[in-house]
């Protein structure tokens, strides 16, 4: 067999030194806690991370049994629900990303539309003052 060119040998050497997996905690296990209505993820660094399934794209409206059939995939970098055809990235979840950009925009819109007594009171007070103050350029 012919000798490989030097540039190939050098590139293979550099690739061998690169970390195979990105840094950061990975999922060791995941489960659905039906009492608290949360997906609970045990991380490789000993921490626990939990979130409500309603906030995650593909999990809203799923039954407790469906949510309980979660699998840790991709060496701990993903969560998968076969029956729901849903996949979530563990680094994404830890960064607060519970779905696609469009999903996140919709979740923000819903949160901003929430009406609370405090929001109603603030709106009344602003109304008495002539409305929301104009932004200055």
What's the CA gap between 122 and 127, in Å, rounded? Answer: 9
pLDDT score recorded for residue 136 = 78
What is the predicted pLDDT for the residue at 79?
96
pLDDT at residue 126 in the model: 81
φ, ψ at 28 (rounded to 5°): -95, -35
**Spatial CA neighbour of 28 closest among 74, 64, 72, 84:** 72
Residues in the chain predicted with pLDDT less than 70, given as ranges, are: 1, 19-22, 100, 103-104, 107, 110-114
- In degrees and rounded to multiples of 5, residue 103 shows phi and psi of -60, -45
Domain segments of the chain as ranges:
27-126
Query: Could you tell me which CATH number the domain at 27-126 has?
Result: 3.30.2020.40
Q: Would you call 46 helix, strand, or coil by DSSP? A: coil
To the question of pTM greater than 0.85 for the whole model, the response is no
Query: Which of 19, 25, 20 is CA-nearest to residue 94?
Result: 25
């Amino acid at each position: 067999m012919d000798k490989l060119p030097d540039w190939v040998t050098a590139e293979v050497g550099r690739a061998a030194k690169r970390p195979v997996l990105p840094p950061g905690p990975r999922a060791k296990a995941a489960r659905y806690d039906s009492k608290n209505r949360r997906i609970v993820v045990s991380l490789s660094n000993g921490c626990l991370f939990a979130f409500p399934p309603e906030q995650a794209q593909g999990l809203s409206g799923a039954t407790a049994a469906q949510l309980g059939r979660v699998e840790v995939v991709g060496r701990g970098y993903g969560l998968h629900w076969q029956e729901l055809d849903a996949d979530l990235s563990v680094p994404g979840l830890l960064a607060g990303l519970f779905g696609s950009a469009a999903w996140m925009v919709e979740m923000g819109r819903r949160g901003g539309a929430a009406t609370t007594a405090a929001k109603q009171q603030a709106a009344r007070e602003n109304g008495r003052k002539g409305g929301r103050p104009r932004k200055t350029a």
